Structure 1
Amino acid sequence: MTNQAIVAGVGMIKFAKPGASDSYDQMGAAAVRDALADAGLSYDDVQQAYAGYVYGDSTCGQKALYHVGMSGIPIVNVNNNCSTGSTALFLARQAIEHGIADCVLAVGFEQMQPGALGSHWLDRPTPFDDFDAETDALVGNGQVPLALRYFGGAGKSHMEKYGTTLNDFAKIRAKASRHAANNPLALFNKEVTEDEVMAAPMMWDGVMTRLMACPPTCGGAAAILCSESFAQKHGIDAKVKITAQAMTTDYPSTFEAHDMMQLVGYDMSKAAREQVCEQAGLDIKDVDVVEMHDCFTHNELITYEALGLCAEGDAQKFIADGDNTYGGQFVTNPSGGLLSKGHPLGATGLAQCYELTHQLRGTAERRQVEGARTALQHNLGLGGACVVTLYQAA
């Protein structure tokens, strides 16, 4: 028998542009304090902690958490590229479910630098050597930054297969801005129209404009998970539970399919969603609200299909019918997503947890999805790892 993990508390600070934020340790500590306050707990109640970040030296987790307390508990530092925050959550959930601990903290933070992502270790092979070689073979265009080539290339593949247009990606960005207008913690709150997205500077001719990419961002977010018995003992609101969760890494198809959609994790996402639905005994149609990894509009579009929100090749119709927003089949990224909220790599997965917890509590204010009781989270990192988490309200 396993224990079910309760989301006891969540915390998040407003994300900021590089150079305009506090240092990583201060951001992480602030998010943890917010999560503790939300749960009504002290740091002394926490029995283990998992700290996620991508860009930083060893034991940054200790540096951040020591601002909150020094209780001698195990602190594990986690790095899984853009899925780092959800990986920390995955480990915390496992500790609760298997009875290793009754109260576990997951925190993610990132102090980003301006500009495109790049490698910091140039004297050794990178984890992306194989991905880069496949991208060179499939799309070339070596003057474009790699992350843009990866996801722009995936969008280009979808366009060639199914007739998707640049306007479809623009509609996703406009939708994200409408949602973010109601999120005080989003980096960008200004609404933009489809025409404005299309008129933005072209980063890859015919494939992507500047507004179709998420910005480099700094921030922190945290979640405290506990067992049901701990929640009962401490008078914690046990309304929101993690009922299923799966992490997948790359399959042979990532490279063997010779398709950019596969290279950026389509099969990882699909398999993780299938595992989660099987664990929970639910159909994807039972989900009310989804926070997904929209680092580029292109990735949100192909993820609609990977998660089964619509059939393969039907994303264009799904968008046109408004089935990705309020009043449609699924509300996707009510927070504004990475496109508007920002993407501090280590914090992103836990910021998604923050949003969905408030949605299921009914405390998301102007972003509230009416009657939301089942929520799905999708967090993807190339190299690669994908974490899909299913939450339900009691």
Structure 2
Amino acid sequence: MVKKPTNKVYVIGVGMTKFIKPRGQVDYPEIGLEAAVKALNDAKISYDQVEFAACGFCYGDSTCGQRVLYQLGMTQIPVINVNNNCSTGSTALLQARNAVASGMVDCAMALGFERMQRGSLKSNWSDRTAPLDHVHNLNIEQTQPKAGTPRAPLIFGNAGMEYMRRYGATAEHLGKIAEKNHRHSAKNPYSQFRDIYTLDQIMQSPTIYGPLTKLQCCPTSDGAGCSIVASEEFVLKHGLMDQAIEIVAQVMATDSPKMLSTDAIEWVGTDMTRRAAKSAYEQAGITAKDVQVVELHDCFSANELITYEGLGLCAPGEAHKLIDTGDNTYGGKYVVNPSGGLISKGHPLGATGLAQCTELTWQLRRWTGDRQVPNTKYALQHNVGLGGAVVVTIYKKANNNFTQPHVGYNPAVEARPITKADYEKAASKKSNRAEYLAVEAKL
């Protein structure tokens, strides 16, 4: 069991960019700055008050976090760069939260960004052992795929097929997950894709592997997200409790030996999800039945199906029944991925976990307009990276007072770029700014 920290930690500010198709149009310093400025403005603080930062990205050199944050000021705080595969954003959030929960600092930032290459994920290194070589070898030995099959769809597709074989789910259930998430994303201005597709269109889109079609797979994306977390003392001192969201539980887990068994369902980190979810519910003092809204790591529709069970949203072997009853969307027991999820919102690896945090913060504040999940009390976040790490986080509103957005518009329903005035509110005092970065000239 993971011990619960003594000190409460609250999310006080969030922000994100639109998720866009990688075309080389924007670079990581620009998108990282936009997300950070939005989060600082939401928190009503400047960068001078941030005492620690964890910056997540998977594709980039060494100190990209510093390169982004120096645009706000060179305040000499600790900046930690994080890479934990697809769970990078939530890992950065965990680092920031731990810095506050331990009493080391009162205010910390978690920032995640990614500028990706187009097409299926691939390694940049050919002269060293791949971190997922053991899983890839199992996949190839057990399933004998066609040469050139993309690795990620291979792993998740085989897991989905094993679940179907074992419990009676069908390819149509996977298609229904994607249909739901594309439909949800139409109401999210930050989503990479906002088109609504019929189930037939999803099932008839090009086959990627096994039952997975193109519209059931997340795209590569560029984008950024940011969250500011703080101690209770900081929140009270700055009068932020009415907008604060408490992190009531947060647990990271890594793989058990089941990941290297011949069970394809376990190849996608299912056992670490079970472990993290169980510990998170214990920390929060709740069960899955107490949750209303979930942001779940649906890199492929098969992973959403499998993860329903891993998170305890249904009984073992009954994930497809949750779909049949409509208990994964509006009007049902849970609303899973109101943002559109990774399948439709997009998946810039370093930003995904922080975009999930942003959506759930907005949901708990009741800012999300026509995608609002009614009667939200507890929100659950699941962010997984193969190889492996998973972070499960549970949030609730700090009190029963509800405020309106104070930045001049509602960022939950309108995605605006930042202005020079936004930057000036967020940036540190001028004596800490480096003139050579010339941020103001870009805005």
TM-score, normalisation: structure 1: 0.98
Question: 1:296-315: CA deviations, max 9, x gaps?
Answer: 00000000011010111111
Please report how far the alpha carbon of residue 16 of structure 1 lies from its aligned counterpart in structure 2 after TM superposition. 0.4
Matches of 1:273 and 1:133, distance apart in 2: 28
1:248-287 → structure 2 map (5 Å cutoff): 248-256=253-261, 258-287=262-291
1:191-210 → structure 2 map (5 Å cutoff): 191-205=196-210, 207-210=211-214
Correspondence for 2:338 among 319, 334, 339: 334
Matches of 2:120 and 2:44, distance apart in 1: 39
Identify the residue that residue 89 of structure 1 maps to in structure 2.
93
Runs of at least 4 residues off by over 3 Å = none
Identify the residue that residue 150 of structure 1 maps to in structure 2.
155
Moved more, 67-76 or 286-295: 67-76
Matches of 2:375 and 2:225, distance apart in 1: 25
Does the aligned pair in 2 maintain the 1:83–1:385 contact within 8 Å? yes
Identify the residue that residue 51 of structure 1 maps to in structure 2.
55
Structure 2 unaligned runs (5+)?
400-443
Matches of 2:383 and 2:271, distance apart in 1: 13
The number of residues matched between the two structures is 392
Are 1:75 and 2:63 matched, yes or no?
no
Query: What amino acid is the match of 1:188?
Result: F
Identify the residue that residue 393 of structure 2 maps to in structure 1.
389
Determine helix, strand or coil for the equivalent of 2:77: coil
Query: What amino acid is the match of 1:179?
Result: H
Matches of 1:215 and 1:328, distance apart in 2: 27
Query: What amino acid is the match of 2:341?
Result: G
Does the aligned pair in 2 maintain the 1:36–1:43 contact within 8 Å? yes
Please report how far the alpha carbon of residue 143 of structure 1 lies from its aligned counterpart in structure 2 after TM superposition. 2.8
Percent identity reads 51
1:369-384 → structure 2 map (5 Å cutoff): 369-384=373-388
Please report how far the alpha carbon of residue 204 of structure 1 lies from its aligned counterpart in structure 2 after TM superposition. 2.2
Matches of 1:379 and 1:203, distance apart in 2: 23
Are 1:243 and 2:248 matched, yes or no?
yes
- Classify 1:71/1:366 alpha carbon distance in 2 versus 1 (closer, same or farther; 3 Å): same
Structure 1 unaligned runs (5+)?
none
Does the aligned pair in 2 maintain the 1:21–1:219 contact within 8 Å? no
Larger radius of gyration: 2
Please report how far the alpha carbon of residue 373 of structure 1 lies from its aligned counterpart in structure 2 after TM superposition. 1.2
Matches of 1:147 and 1:24, distance apart in 2: 24
Identify the residue that residue 7 of structure 1 maps to in structure 2.
11
TM-score, normalisation: structure 2: 0.87
Matches of 1:66 and 1:21, distance apart in 2: 22
Question: 1:106-142: CA deviations, max 9, x gaps?
Answer: 0000000001111111111110111111111222214
Question: 1:350-390: CA deviations, max 9, x gaps?
Answer: 00000000000111111111110100000000010000000
1:1-394 → structure 2 map (5 Å cutoff): 2-19=6-23, 21-141=25-145, 142-205=147-210, 207-238=211-242, 239-256=244-261, 258-393=262-397, 394=399
Does the aligned pair in 2 maintain the 1:21–1:218 contact within 8 Å? no
Query: What amino acid is the match of 2:225?
Result: A
Query: What amino acid is the match of 2:214?
Result: R
Please report how far the alpha carbon of residue 163 of structure 1 lies from its aligned counterpart in structure 2 after TM superposition. 1.8
Query: What amino acid is the match of 2:193?
Result: F
Does the aligned pair in 2 maintain the 1:138–1:259 contact within 8 Å? no
Query: What amino acid is the match of 2:387?
Result: G
Please report how far the alpha carbon of residue 20 of structure 1 lies from its aligned counterpart in structure 2 after TM superposition. 5.4
Determine helix, strand or coil for the equivalent of 2:265: helix
